[in-house]
């Protein structure tokens, strides 16, 4: 006669046996930190939490985006700032959206200088590459 230890584990919600392979985390996949019984932690700062999640997804630290957004005219210049918008920073690639092809050409020409200005503004190597896309503004 078989005892309870010989049965496969059951999910409490519907009573079906658990497919243990299906419930194991895949290699390399990050799951939330396991909870330790009795451990209490202060709530995480929202900026730090967003930075951690964004980092896992390849996004830049939110503080980098805020600093770039606030200093955008300083980075690209007043004239270009009216035609070029910061679209994203992901995986070290700063994507700039412009409203017309000649502005894209000018930004591509200035890419090295822009990288230097961004590095001076946000520090480090938050941006290693600059990508320019043309997306005309709607009237």
- Domain with 74 in it: what CATH number? 3.30.300.180
Q: CA dihedral defined by 79, 85, 91, 93, rounded to 10 degrees?
A: -30
The answer to whether position 97 is within a domain reads yes
Strand 93-98 versus strand 129-134 pairing type: parallel
The answer to whether position 70 is within a domain reads yes
Helix (H, G, I), strand (E, B) or coil at 88: strand
The answer to whether position 86 is within a domain reads yes
Contact (Cβ atoms closer than 8 angstroms) between residue 42 and residue 34: no
The answer to whether position 104 is within a domain reads yes
Phi, psi of 109 (to 5 degrees): -65, -35
**Could you tell me which of 91, 92, 82, 88 has the C-alpha nearest to residue 127?**
92
b/e map 116-128, b = 16+ CB within 10 Å:
ebbeebbeeebbe
- Residue 71 CA to residue 121 CA, distance in Å, equals 8
The answer to whether position 84 is within a domain reads yes
- Res 61: pLDDT: 73
- Res 101: pLDDT: 93
- Res 105: pLDDT: 94
- Res 84: pLDDT: 93
Range of the domain at 99: 60-134
The answer to whether position 48 is within a domain reads no
What is the tally of structural domains in the chain? 1
Give the pTM: 0.61
Beta bridge partners of 59: 90
The answer to whether position 35 is within a domain reads no
**Could you tell me which of 67, 80, 81 has the C-alpha nearest to residue 120?**
67
The answer to whether position 37 is within a domain reads no
Per-residue pLDDT of the chain (139 residues; tens, 9 = 90+): 555 555 555 555 555 555 544 555 555 555 556 666 666 677 777 777 777 777 777 777 777 888 899 999 999 999 999 999 999 888 889 999 999 999 999 999 999 999 999 999 988 788 889 999 998 776 6
């Amino acid at each position: 006669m078989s005892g309870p230890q010989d049965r496969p584990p059951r999910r409490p919600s519907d009573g079906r046996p658990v497919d243990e392979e299906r419930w194991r985390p895949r290699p390399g996949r990050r799951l939330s930190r396991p909870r330790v019984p009795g451990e209490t932690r202060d709530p995480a700062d929202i900026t730090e939490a967003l930075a951690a999640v964004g980092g896992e997804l390849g996004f830049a630290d939110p503080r980098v985006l805020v600093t770039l957004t606030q200093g955008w005219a300083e980075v690209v210049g007043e004239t270009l700032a009216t035609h070029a918008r910061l679209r994203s920073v992901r995986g070290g690639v700063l994507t700039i959206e412009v409203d017309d092809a000649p502005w894209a050409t000018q930004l591509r020409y200035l890419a090295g200088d822009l990288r230097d200005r961004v590095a001076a503004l946000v520090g480090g190597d938050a941006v290693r590459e600059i990508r320019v896309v043309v997306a005309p503004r709607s009237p």
